[in-house]
Structure 1
C-alpha cells in the first residue's frame, strides 16, 4: 500500500460558506474530525452559536475575545481554548489587526450548528 503525504496551503484551501460572513478555509475534513482556518478582520465577529460536538480554537495570530457561555476572555497567539458541546460561544475581533485561528471539531460534527 502506498501512502501519500497530503499538504494543504491555507491560501489555496477550499473557501467555506458560513452564516457569519467571515473568511473560512476548510483545511481538513474527514469522517472523524474537521479543521477550519478562520480570519476575523478588525470589527468582525462570529454570531453566537452552539455546536453539537466539542470544539477547540487554536490562536495563530492577533488578539481577540472568546465568549463561551457566560465567560469572556481575551486570547492571543499560541493559546488553545476548549469549548464544550452545546454551550453557546463566539469569537470577536475588537482590535486593529487581523485575528486568525483554527477551529478543530473532533469528533466531526454530524448535526447542524444552532444559531442564537
Structure 2
C-alpha cells in the first residue's frame, strides 16, 4: 500500500515517460520536477523581517492561542522534515540492507 501511494505521488509530478519507470527511478527523477525546497522558502516568507518565529511569543504583546498553536505545529513539522525524516530514511535503508544480506529482500 505504501509503495502504491508513493508511486501515485511520483506519477502526478512526472512526465508520461518517467511514469512508466520503477519507483526508485521515479524518485530520483523528482527533484527537477518538484521544488523540494519550497516549504523552506515559504517559511522564510512567513518570518517577520528582521525577526524570527520567537517574536510571535513576545512578552510585551499577547499572542492568540490559534497563532501559538500554528507556530508550534509548524516548528514540529519543520523538525520532522529536516531531521526526523532523514533519520527514518537512514534507518529504513539499514534495515533493507540487512534484509537483502539475509536473503529476505522483498519480504517487507
Q: Same fold (TM over 0.5)?
A: no
Higher helix share: 2
Higher strand share: 1
TM-score of the pair, normalised by structure 2? 0.21
Higher alpha-carbon Rg: 2
